[in-house]
Amino acid sequence: MSMIQLENISKIYGKNSFSTIALQDVTLNIEKGEYVAIMGPSGSGKSTLLNIIGCMDTQTAGKYKLNDKDVSLLNNKELSLVRNTTISFIFQHFALMKDYSIYDNVELPLSFKKISKKNKKAIVMNCLKSLNIEDQANKKPGQLSGGQQQRAAIARALSTESHIILADEPTGSLDQKTGKDIMDILTSLNRGGKTIIIITHDPQIAAYCKRIITINDGTIVKDELNT
């Protein structure tokens, strides 16, 4: 059984003549521990696919099973549990809370868990340390460089120990060198066992991944191992 199973998934936004087919009949399995790049032109359905995998959006047709559970059958409580414990997102523009300190940003996903304040502190500081930004803990995101902000977003993704990391163009607003640093971090997290799925336009970024899926007009047109 694959951890992520998409079966004939379609997604249509809007209605009638205003509708857009974002995904069409996508069937895809992703195993625990995989390191996957999703490539394709702008508007091809990459973000829609990632959002469905991340339980942030629902398909119009088809079936999505995560850990052998049909996601459409989960109630709201079960869904938020999945979002808070199983899956973490990283975005192009980091999506940090700008009025919160870096420390508070990383602690935020833990507010859903029953953990003592002291243990939370240990977890947050560990995550910040593992990304070499522990000295930035008390700053606001706006006081950090882009690369540091993305590190903070990764630290936030690690704080809940969720085993799937979904990244939508995580290097898209970073310079090349910083983008590579971020990819080195994601690569080492994958070596440590995390399942990582990254959307990118950039073949050099996709080259870090072990499997490259290409989508065009909402359909998978290529799915190959990167050897």
Ligand X SMILES: Nc1ncnc2c1ncn2[C@@H]1O[C@H](COP(=O)(O)OP(=O)(O)O)[C@@H](O)[C@H]1O
Q: Which is nearer to Mg ion, 33 or 172 (CB)?
A: 172
Among 3, 5, 37, 48, binds ligand X (CB under 6 A): 48
User: Helix 146-159 crosses helix 117-130 at what angle (to 10 degrees)?
Assistant: 140
| Angle subtended at Cα 13 by Cα 44 and Cα 16, rounded to the nearest 5 degrees | 120
112 binds, among Mg ion, ligand X, none (CB under 5 to 8 A by kind): none
Position 195 contacts Mg ion (CB under 5 A): no
Neighbours of 155 (CB within 10 A): 26
Q: Which residue has the tokens 């870096």?
A: 102
Least spacing, CB of residue 49 vs Mg ion, in Å: 9
Can you read off the two tokens belonging to residue 46? Answer: 């990459």
Q: Which stretch binds ligand X (CB under 6 A): 41-49, 77-85, 156-164, 176-184?
A: 41-49
Sheet with 211-216, strands from edge to edge, namely 87-91, 164-168, 195-199, 35-39, 211-216, 219-225
Quick check: 171 binds Mg ion (CB under 5 A)?
no
Q: If we measure between CA atoms, which residue out of 14, 36, 12 comes closest to residue 167?
A: 36
Task: Give the binding-site size for ligand X (rule: CB under 6 A).
Answer: 12
DSSP 88-115: EEEETT----TTS-HHHHHHGGGGGS--
For residue 47, state whether it binds Mg ion (rule: CB under 5 A).
Answer: yes
Interface with ligand X (CB under 6 A), residue from 8, 13, 70, 80: 13
The residue range among 43-51, 75-83, 121-129, 158-166 that interacts with ligand X, by the rule CB under 6 A, is: 43-51
Binding span for ligand X by CB under 6 A among 37-45, 65-73, 143-151, 190-198? 37-45
Interacting residues toward Mg ion by CB under 5 A: 47
Interacting residues toward ligand X by CB under 6 A: 13-14, 20, 22, 40, 42-48
